[in-house]
Amino acid sequence: MSRKELIRHKAFSSQKEPQSEKERQLAHLWKGLFGAEAEIDVQSNFFDLGGDSLMAMKLVAAARAENLLTSVADIFRHPILSELAITLKHSDSEAEIDVPPFSLLDSHWKENNARIETAKLCGIDATSVMDVYPCTPLQEGLMALSAKVSEAYVAQRVVELADFQTAQRLQRAFETAAADSPILRTRIVQVPGRGLMQVVLKDGITWRAGTTLEEYLVKDRNESMGLGTPLARFAVTSNETTGKFHFVLTIHHALYDGWSMPLVVRRVNRAFNNQESERSVAFNSFIKHLSGLNHKDSEIYWKEQLQGANGLQFPALPRARYQTQAQSLLEQYFLLGKTSASSTSIATSIRAAWALVAGKYTLSDDVIFGETLTGRNAPVVGIEKIEGPMITTVPVRVRIDRNARVSEYLRTVHDDSILRIPHEHMGLQHIRRLTPDAREACELRTGIVIHPTTTEDSTSLTGDGPANGFVPAGDEDAAREALKFNTYALMLVCSLDPKGFLVMASFDSATIDVCQMDKVLGQFGQTVQRLCENGNSLVSDLLPMTDEELAEIWRFSNTYKPNSGDEVVLGHDYSDATATWIVAPEDSEQLVPLGGIGELVIEGDFPTNTSIQISGTKWLSAGHRDIPGRQATLHKTGQLAKYNSDGSLVILGGKGGNIKPDMEIKKPEAKSQSQVTTPKQQKLRKLWARVLGISEDEVGFNDSFFDLGGDSISAMKLVSEGRLENLELVVMQVFQHRRFHDMADIAKESLPLQVATKQYSPFSTLDVSDVDTFISESIHPSLMNSSWKVVDVLPARPLQEIAVDGTINLPRYSARYELFYLDAAVDQSHLFKSCQELISRNEILRTIFVKSGGSCFGVVIEELQLPLDEYQIDGDLTAFAEQLCGLDIQTVMPLGSPFIKFFFVQSSSGLSCLIMRISHAQYDEICLPILLRQLSALYEGELVPAGLPFSSFVHHIVRNNIPQSIEYWRRLLRGSSMSVLRPSTPLISKKSIFISKTFDISSRSKEITLATLPTAAWALCLARRLSIRDVTFGEVVSGRNIDFANCDTVVGPTWQYIPVRVKFKSGWTVVDLLNFVQHQHISSTPFEGIGLKEIVRKCTDWPETTEWFDSVVHQDVEHVESLRLLSANSRMDTIYPHLEPLREWKIQAFPKGDSLCIEIVTFESWRAEADSILNEMGDIISLLVTKPNSTLFRTDVMEESTPPTS
């Protein structure tokens, strides 16, 4: 023993009673927790007495009641009574802090604006908004994921009531509780530019009713619960036949967790029993704590913690990009005897034991898994009384030193858990973005939840009352409920009790079969027992390869023999093998247990040039049991493999990285750059890094452009920026050669690019014999100002023509107003000059539209001087600006006049607003940000972003692209017809309605672009609804993927509506559909400059009256949310005073990170059909991202399974 240990041992032997005042106070508090019969002295250990995280939180609260301050971290750090007493601090009674409403918002977001914006998103009046504050990382994740497994994140709970009077009393109790509990009145909205925000409403509960419980439950389940909607629904059903009454509570997990729900139920029960309401601690006090954390410290912590944490996780996936789906459940109970003297908790032993078990099967001493925590370790006064969800998930990394004593190993795991406490609320979605290693570490395979022992029964927590039916009856039920939220390949829920613990495993049997999982659980429980009992043992002694495991390995070694078909994978015909073995890739003397992954080695006599040979191993020479040892040559295959429990062997892929990221045994600290050597490769790597917003070090030789975050927009940017670097690519090549080394091979280095505009001659797109005569007779008379000098005339593109009609005629749905609300004084004269300069720089803004001979033309004039309308006001700036737009839209905007216009409104408050009116005939969503950034740069005096003139683009389309495109569209559309979806409901109201839902797509293969998903989903939805296998519909494309230099910088409306045709084949799976749609996207990109009218006339046998699609898929693009003008920051708003008359079903897709919002736009009369379609789209998107091998149509499955008739 060390001197320090001897001193402690002596003190322990003497059973020294508490001496100081703090020691006596702390001993008194401990007796209150552990019982009056507990033997407590100065050397008593919090964990030896049965303490855990739950007891620690209770101790913090009890100490606070005695004006003593401590924290969960202090208790974990100093579990000995005398040591913890030294850390205690006296304090005046620390009041629970009330956080004023709206005080947690960004200083630039004023209360009134917050009310208005969030109320609009909720569809309510602004006066109903009582508070707005940010979401926790947990809530952000739940809202993003709830669409993926909606039933897992929305709880539907039912309580049967005695009679109608009881139902009425419970209704009143919930209304009382909701008035005192803001979380029951909370919605969550996505505020543009600000993220997910919580909105607390003034209004109480809106009651629902149902005739029968069964009918209501079905109806309730079919109703979406998401952004902007109530996240808690309340209903009472009464069945006249049975006379039964039921209360139904439907609540989203973003409003509650296992800790807070009993608090809410207790509040309801007290109201039901007419007891005085207890004061709660508002959820926004926790939000305030989170907002005050030093996020830089947490970033540093997680970067350091996860550096190099890129090893294989358990369980391994059966193949790359496999989507897990838990469908199996096992459980085992383990008794824990008297533990050895330890300063750590049972929870620590559970973490440490799992690391050892997982390490055994991954051949690693560096293990990563996820753990879900209560989240209530934070130093917030009254945190144990907060009614709101605070659970959080963190990646737990355990480094195993097998030469350490068990007590030392446990202390290390314990200390690591203490260090995590200040950083546990960062959120996995934010941690994963920090570094490539963090991203890989957060691809968690295993999740652990530990339910501590509770000494109280459920009614002591919730009180007595009918609302008790809304919470699990006990610890075991609570643990089982946690399993419903499993998104891992394996989830372990450990429910502790005074005698031991129950472990329940929910897992995907494709990643580990049931028999093997049963063995793993047994090893896990036994390891926990050994950790608790053998503090002085070496870690290496805890989990040896057992004799039974060795027997299995020797038995199975003769079961699998490679066949000739494996030659492609193994590189040689090993069908004459004597036996097969799996060993550690870096140590052939170490056999891998059943279910573990290692390198496949073949025993037998084969030519020496087939592989690396191992002349002999100790284990093979020793034999096993009744199998004699032998000398034989082993051949290393370089392939990773594992045995299933039935003896079958699965070859997973090359150990050198061909199965990244799912199956690599060993990975380098950073991506190898040794192969990136040529100037062309180095240039391409810089381009990838710049376009994708990552560092060059993150670009590996074998990486896919789309795996690293690329999409169709970034592909277009890559092509454009490549040309500036004299590197030639086209968008189709980016899709076809997505891996870095492939793309580097096909990219061509070219001479410095010649500017496209130099090749263009004005008026060259006109098909007229005498340009001067045409201008003087057909163009000039149509212009409102005869002094304008015409410098070019262009035929309007098909969508421009439609937009022109939508500007000159009512309703003017193509007229758009961009409003910039400025928060500081600006130099008005300089601002007005900047607006004029913007017009001068961009010919599309100097384009006047006229019609002649039945055709529409864009006339570019040399100079357009526009007055800027100024207004001075005293009242509300926002209201006036919006009213001004509403009045301006009513003014005549005839052919021959400018569509562009600027307004400036100055308020007496010092605030102001710049308004720009523009027609869709002059912009699309890709060039508008270019114009806005130019305006900012002109005012700021900075370098103005360049843009290509629209005329050069139109010339290329008319003279080159359309002639080249005709044959492609003829081939694609031969024999096709427009797919028409017409509900049986009569079309009474043509008013547009917009409905939307957000779906989780985090599981999608990154090889499938975001643009592919909604198009493929709509194709399948349409085919199923129309009962056909050949569908044709429209899709909005940028028009900028054609082979035209710097097309992404063209300032003008290049967008197009093009056809999508999907001919489903019998037996198609999800992967087949996704690949087909993506291939069509890729192959059509060079030909997307042609308009629908031109396609119908030149490429199809469709009726010439076909002017539009019946349904169109829209993809969202980048938006500018704010603009800076020197000292003034602007909040931007966009107004379309007139809505576009609806011509088609619109399926609009808005991707955001790992979620995809789908919006359906249709006629009000077809609302029911739209709701049904949206739900079906959600189901299909879930299918597309989670079940790649599923068959698309049930009839295909039936056809495959039906035996042929004789």
Q: Which helix (H) or strand (E) segment is 591 a member of?
A: strand 587-591
**At 923, is the secondary structure helix, strand, or coil?**
coil
For residue 402, give the nearest of 336, 350, 355 by alpha carbon. Answer: 355
**At 976, is the secondary structure helix, strand, or coil?**
coil
Residues 6+ apart with CB under 8 A from 1200: 1067, 1191
Count of CA atoms in the C-beta half-sphere (13 A) of 46? 30
CA distance 250 to 265: 14
CA distance 834 to 831: 5
For residue 594, give the nearest of 660, 517, 652 by alpha carbon. Answer: 517
Mean pLDDT computed over 864-880:
90
pLDDT tens track for 577-603: 888 889 887 778 888 888 888 888 888
Q: 959-992 b/e with 16+ CB inside 10 Å = b?
A: eebbeebeeebeebbeebbbbebebeeeeeeeee
pLDDT tens track for 162-204: 888 898 999 999 999 999 999 999 999 888 778 789 999 998 7
Query: Between 1167-1186 and 1070-1084, two packed helices, what is the crossing angle to 10 degrees?
Result: 100
- Domains of the chain, CATH where assigned: 3-90 (1.10.1200.10), 111-287 (3.30.559.10), 326-382+390-541 (3.30.559.30), 547-654 (2.30.38.10), 679-753 (1.10.1200.10), 762-946 (3.30.559.10), 953-981+990-1117+1146-1198 (3.30.559.30)
- For residue 481, what pLDDT band results from cuts at 50, 70 and 90? low
Distances (CA, A) of 409 to 136, 343, 813, 1205: 33, 12, 69, 67
CA distance 1100 to 1094: 10
Residues 6+ apart with CB under 8 A from 677: none
pLDDT tens track for 267-287: 999 999 988 888 878 899 999
Rg from Cα positions in the chain? 34
pLDDT tens track for 645-670: 767 777 776 654 433 333 332 333 33
Count of CA atoms in the C-beta half-sphere (13 A) of 917? 27
| Eight-class DSSP state of 386 | B
Q: Is 1112 left (phi over 0), alpha (psi -120 to 50) or beta?
A: beta
Q: Helix H segments across 434-512?
A: 436-441, 458-462, 475-483
- Confirm if 796 and 856 have CB atoms less than 8 A apart: yes
Task: Indicate the residue type of 187.
Answer: R
| 537 burial via Cβ count (<10 Å: 0-12, 13-18, 19+) | middle
For tokens 């002109």, the residue is 938
Residue 733 pLDDT greater than 90, yes or no: no
Tokens matching residue 87: 């850390």
Tokens matching residue 1164: 């009000």
* 1047 φ, ψ (degrees, to nearest 5): -65, -25
CA distance 314 to 37: 44
pLDDT tens track for 396-449: 999 999 889 999 999 999 989 989 988 999 988 889 888 888 988 998 999 999
pLDDT at res. 569:
53
Q: Which residues pair with 388 in a beta bridge?
A: none
Instruction: Give the pairing of strands 634-643 and 612-614.
Output: antiparallel
- Confirm if 43 and 98 have CB atoms less than 8 A apart: no
pLDDT at res. 942:
84
Instruction: Give the pairing of strands 366-373 and 232-238.
Output: unpaired
Q: By mean pLDDT, which of 358-372, 536-550, 1153-1167 is the weakest?
A: 536-550
CA distance 794 to 802: 16
| Eight-class DSSP state of 779 | I
For tokens 């990109």, the residue is 1085
Mean pLDDT computed over 554-571:
64
pLDDT at res. 3:
40
For residue 1059, give the nearest of 1007, 1096, 1101, 1006 by alpha carbon. Answer: 1096
Q: By mean pLDDT, which of 292-306, 379-393, 472-486, 1140-1154 is the weakest?
A: 472-486
For residue 71, give the nearest of 60, 62, 79 by alpha carbon. Answer: 60
- Confirm if 83 and 482 have CB atoms less than 8 A apart: no
CA distance 785 to 794: 19
- Confirm if 528 and 501 have CB atoms less than 8 A apart: yes
Task: Indicate the residue type of 945.
Answer: P
pLDDT tens track for 78-106: 888 888 888 888 876 555 568 899 999 98
- Measured at the CA of 539, the angle between CA 534 and CA 544, to 5 degrees, comes to 100
- For residue 10, what pLDDT band results from cuts at 50, 70 and 90? very low
For tokens 């020197």, the residue is 1126
pLDDT tens track for 539-551: 888 877 778 888 8
CA distance 182 to 206: 15
| Eight-class DSSP state of 958 | I
Give first-to-last CA distance, the chain, whole Å: 85
